[in-house]
Amino acid sequence: MNSSVLKKVLLFGLCGGLVLAVGILLGHFAIKKTASSQPKWVEEAFRDVDESFIETFISEVDAAQIEANLRELTKVPHMATSPGDEATVQYVLKRWKDSETGLDDAWREEYKVFLSFPDKTNPNKVTVVNPSNNILFTVREKEEAYYDDQRDPEVVQPYAAYSPAGHAKGKLVYANYGSMDDYKHLNNTMNLQGTIAIVKYGTVGRSTKALNAAQFGIAGILVYTDPLDINDGKMSDKTETYPHSWYLPPTGVERGAYNIKFGDLLTPYLAAKEDTYRISKDEITDTPPIPTQPIGFADAYALICELAGAEAPEKWQGGFNCTYNIGGPGFKSTSPFANSDVKLDIYNFEELRNSANVMGVIRGSVEPDRYILYGNHRDSWVHGAIDPSSGTAVMLEITRVLGKMVKEGKWRPRRSIIFGSWGAEEFGLIGSAEYTEEYFTKLSERAVAYINVDIAVFANATLRASASPAAQNVIFTATKQVKIPASDTVSVYDNWMKYYNRSSPTHGIIPNVRYLTGAGSDYAAFMHYLGITSMDISYTYDSSKTNARIYPAYHTAYDTFDYASKYIDPGFTGHQTVARTAGTVLLRLADSLLLPFKCSDYAESLELYLDESLKRYKTQLENKKISMAPLENAVKSFREAASRLEGVIQQSDFANETPFKIRRINDQLMLLDRAFLNPLAFPDKYGFRHVIWASRSSGVPTFPGLADAFEQADSTGLQDDWNQVHKHLSIVAQAINGAAQTLNDVI
């Protein structure tokens, strides 16, 4: 390391005091090393992030390479365990084993997992049947083909994975998004027993729509995407939708897994190996109890606009040019479908299949037992150009650039980097969940962070990031270093702040890093089950310009290379920017002498949660004689401990202290998210152990156990439910106190 590098260190600091300390340290050794008889490992041990190397990395990330990757990855449909999936396994392996641009090592790891498929020889059918059993209308079995991509025989029929096979027939009702409130509203004025409900995607999870419906005796459900929710109202494939734009064609259908728990459903908490104990299928509780089928909005239009009954509430009205009635149940007497039933014939079957993760590593030089994990799933529903291949294309470009440096002997990270190309994510984050179950202890002990880039580019307007608060700092540092596609001077950070920002009590106006509270992609097992500081990074659209709840071709046969390159990210500069950003985050985590996590940012998040809960709950809890003081004190202790640790870091002269001290502080930072784990806090939620970021039903942005327990108690008024509020208060206060303890003086 030369003095110009040293200057760059000082220029590009991640946080003032830290960099100062590190700079002093480097200076100390940079000066000493020519003269000394010090052990030869000293220079290596104190090696810090090399800013010029990061600049090189950023410049070498190539949009054309990403485009080529994507073209290769999307040649054929590659649903989990299909021949197309196997082709991507081979492709990723080939890339990671390449002698010039590969990693140190790469291999596949298989799990035998429980998947659900439609029957190719006996496709699912949805029909309108009159009392004489004549079929008046048949829902399309396949999406309209505009290009050869849609004609590939491997395009799987749209279906609801894990919907049971079975036949359901009944009068149709329209149930909005299928929430409990939606069904309750219908149930007020009609008997839902034996009806078929048509519901829209959105608001509640896929499976929840069916689980809720079954509680009212509904016999089957149809799910579609309303043009108002995805297409800004556009409906015509002649002029408006794909192939004319990014909008969803009328016959496009969102496929999806209809389960709630993530991971292999038959082997909770156990890696799904050949001889692993499996629960019986009957013990699965979170999949649809009734036949369920997704359909396109062209077909939904044909059904909904014929419905009889009262006009649905205004909020339930969608994008069709007709009034959405709730159903008689059934169709208008003036309709060609009068007196007819809707019939579902579902032939889905479930099967144990071998699904592969592909793993690759670059071994760390100084701390090989510290892991930076970077991953994305490989399986798609159809061609999956955006979901997930945009992320895989980005990952392969990052590994190409880094692999080349490693193979040429120009660089080796301080810590180990592990890349994961996960299998069967679309069926419930299965590959990543099984991986965390199998390597639970090793990952718990050694993982510094997990970076997830699934859909790399929803659109090419701005960065979007969700993360543990500990990681906000390194994301900011990276986004300040990387420039947006359209400009040589505007940073990703500045551009991002224009689209999504918030006012931070400590930092002022900053880009809004979202909380990782859900289980929308493979970060779930890392963040929620293992408590590894995780982040999910992508490029996305300007939300002022569209109301689409996600990119419109999501999970359809239109999510193709053509679609991606024409309408999502022409020129692949969005992909390039994500690769540069996520790669820079990765490098800073892998190479920084001191981990670039900030516990004071965590303190701020806890304070925001606390403020919200005090505002919402305190008075009522005082009336119930439940004190919130332990929670208030815990958050206060955490803030004090965080300030103390950051003070220690600022005041440290690492050059004159043992590497054990560096490791100690890094362990404090690395293990911070682990401190919030409680495996008994949410017994009914598979894998959710993080008491701050676990999934939450309540809309109140605060501690999830507390928020959900309060909502329940407030609605029932039962003493047992108030006891649960008290219990969750104690659980979260103890976790925060425990976390504060880990940041305090180590003895």
Q: Hey, which residues are catalytic here?
A: 425
Among 234, 616, 674, 690, binds a second copy (CB under 8 A): 674
Residues 724-743 that bind a second copy (CB under 8 A): 726-727, 729-731, 734, 737-739, 741-742
- Does 275 help bind a second copy (rule: CB under 8 A)? yes
The CA distance from 168 to 180, in Å, is: 21
Closest CB to a second copy among residues 192, 739: 739
CB of 650 to a second copy, least distance (A): 19
501 neighbors 512 (Cβ within 8 angstroms): yes
- Does 527 help bind a second copy (rule: CB under 8 A)? no
CB of 597 to a second copy, least distance (A): 15
- Does 367 help bind a second copy (rule: CB under 8 A)? yes
- Does 13 help bind a second copy (rule: CB under 8 A)? no
Closest CB to a second copy among residues 123, 630: 630
CB of 40 to a second copy, least distance (A): 7
CB of 257 to a second copy, least distance (A): 24
703 neighbors 604 (Cβ within 8 angstroms): no
Closest CB to a second copy among residues 234, 689: 689
**Pairing assessment for the beta strands 256-257 and 341-346 based on DSSP bridges:** unpaired
- Does 411 help bind a second copy (rule: CB under 8 A)? no
SS3 457: strand
Cis-peptide, bond into residue 704, ω within 30° of zero? no
CB of 49 to a second copy, least distance (A): 16
- Does 38 help bind a second copy (rule: CB under 8 A)? yes
The residue whose two tokens read 């002498």 is 593
- Does 418 help bind a second copy (rule: CB under 8 A)? yes
- Does 257 help bind a second copy (rule: CB under 8 A)? no
CB of 587 to a second copy, least distance (A): 17
DSSP label of 316? G
- Does 40 help bind a second copy (rule: CB under 8 A)? yes
DSSP label of 386? I
Closest CB to a second copy among residues 72, 109: 109
515 neighbors 534 (Cβ within 8 angstroms): no
Among 130, 245, 276, 643, binds a second copy (CB under 8 A): 276
CA-to-CA separations, 626 to 79, 364, 614, 619, 636, in angstroms, rounded: 51, 50, 12, 10, 19
The CA distance from 701 to 609, in Å, is: 7
- Does 712 help bind a second copy (rule: CB under 8 A)? no
Enter the tokens of residue 588.
């800073």
CA 355 to chain centre: 20
Q: How far apart are the first and last CA of the chain?
A: 36
- At 161, which helix (H) or strand (E)? strand 160-161
Closest CB to a second copy among residues 37, 121: 37
SS3 13: coil
- Does 675 help bind a second copy (rule: CB under 8 A)? yes
- Does 27 help bind a second copy (rule: CB under 8 A)? no
One DSSP character per residue, 476-528 reads HHHHHHSBPTT-SS-BHHHHHHHHSEEEETTTEEEE-PBP--S-SSTHHIIII
The candidate with the shortest Cα–Cα distance to 405, out of 590, 575, 594, is: 590
- Does 441 help bind a second copy (rule: CB under 8 A)? yes
- Does 42 help bind a second copy (rule: CB under 8 A)? yes
The residue whose two tokens read 């109301």 is 547
- Does 41 help bind a second copy (rule: CB under 8 A)? yes
The CA distance from 617 to 628, in Å, is: 9
Among 190, 214, 270, 305, binds a second copy (CB under 8 A): 270
CB of 607 to a second copy, least distance (A): 20
Tell me which residues touch a second copy (CB under 8 A): 32, 35-42, 44-45, 267, 269-271, 273, 275-277, 361, 363-364, 366-369, 371, 416, 418, 437-442, 445-446, 627, 629-630, 655-660, 663-664, 667-668, 671, 674-675, 678-680, 723, 726-727, 729-731, 734, 737-739, 741-742, 746-747
